[in-house]
Structure 1
Amino acid sequence: MNKTVASILVLLLGGVFTSYAQTKADSLAIRRAALDYIESQHKPDSAQMARCLHPRLVKRTFWKYPRQSREYLRESHADEMVMLAASYNVKGDKFPATPRKEVVLLDVSSNTASVKLYADDWIDYMHLAKLNDEWKIVNVLWQFNDVKRHQ
């Protein structure tokens, strides 16, 4: 391959990889949305949960009927998650004193992102969308670390 062709390929590929690169502001906003999601459950705060969710959010996990071998997808929606945030940890006994909240950005494009959130007892995979310059969680797929708890 001659130097001219190689130079053109570098320029073209460089343009492809940088045209949809995340900005620092986007990365921080995506992380903030994921942290709002989990932190609103640590210290009950329905407004914090509502702030990070798109109103059409669907959260899913697999579940098993206790006396059957059949599994199914269980769903929650934004309004349920807002109510959960207000009530889940009211007694302060659902999380350790220093809860785990590790956010990993798996992929970020100009208006979409995939995130993996490691919490204490579970993992959440999230899809976020940037709408009107705000990052909102639109999908969550989660599971307990101990899959036997999915009953």
Structure 2
Amino acid sequence: MKHIILYLIFFSAYQSVSAQTKQDSLAIKQAALDYIESQHQPNPVQMERALHPRMVKRTFWNDKATGKDYVRETSTESMVLLAESYNKKGDKFPAVPKKEVKFLDISEKTASLKLIADEWIDYMHLVKLNGAWKIINVLWQYNDIKQH
């Protein structure tokens, strides 16, 4: 009986992180990779492909003058501009950048994942609209929070 319960727990956990189809899993991962790779090799079109037009990216920041934390927000438009200019000189990332995608949860139309990329951790929510997976929310932080 104990083995059956463990199997059911494992199967339930597996179900919660598996997409409706293998194609969904691939498309979700590709959106996350487009997001980070468009910054490695400046490519605003690739960034735009990954993001929903109303995406909001947030992080916490510390105001050095007051010592208070606050939330900063970035839009799709800003991220597309960032992808065009951030690594123009090719000096912002290591020769072989880290880009690890961890699926946290996937449903028919929504997904949650964690992207670990060099200095950053990005938690992402994606939505499937009209057959395409798009990043709609990002909450990120530096690995070393003192950088905030």
Q: Give the TM-score taking structure 2 as reference length.
A: 0.88
Structure number with bigger Rg: 1
> Paired residue for 1:61, among 59, 62, 66?
59
Q: Which residue of 1 aligns with 2:3?
A: none
Report whether the alignment pairs 1:91 with 2:89. Answer: yes
| RMSD (CA atoms) | 1.8
* Counterpart amino acid of residue 127 in structure 2: A
Q: Which residue of 2 aligns with 1:6?
A: none
The CA deviation string for residues 89-132 of structure 1, in whole angstroms up to 9 with x for no partner, is: 00000000000000011100000000100000010000000000
The CA deviation string for residues 20-64 of structure 1, in whole angstroms up to 9 with x for no partner, is: 853100000000000000000000000000001000000000001
Q: What's the secondary structure of 2:134's corresponding residue?
A: strand
Q: Give the TM-score taking structure 1 as reference length.
A: 0.86
Q: Which residue of 1 aligns with 2:138?
A: 140
Displacement, 1:136? 0.1
| Structure 1: runs of 5+ lacking an equivalent | 1-9
Alpha-carbon distance in 2 for matches of 1:131, 1:80: 22
| Structure 2: runs of 5+ lacking an equivalent | 1-7
What stretches of structure 1 move > 3 A for 4+ residues in a row? none
* Counterpart amino acid of residue 126 in structure 1: M
Q: Which residue of 1 aligns with 2:43?
A: 45
Alpha-carbon distance in 1 for matches of 2:49, 2:140: 20
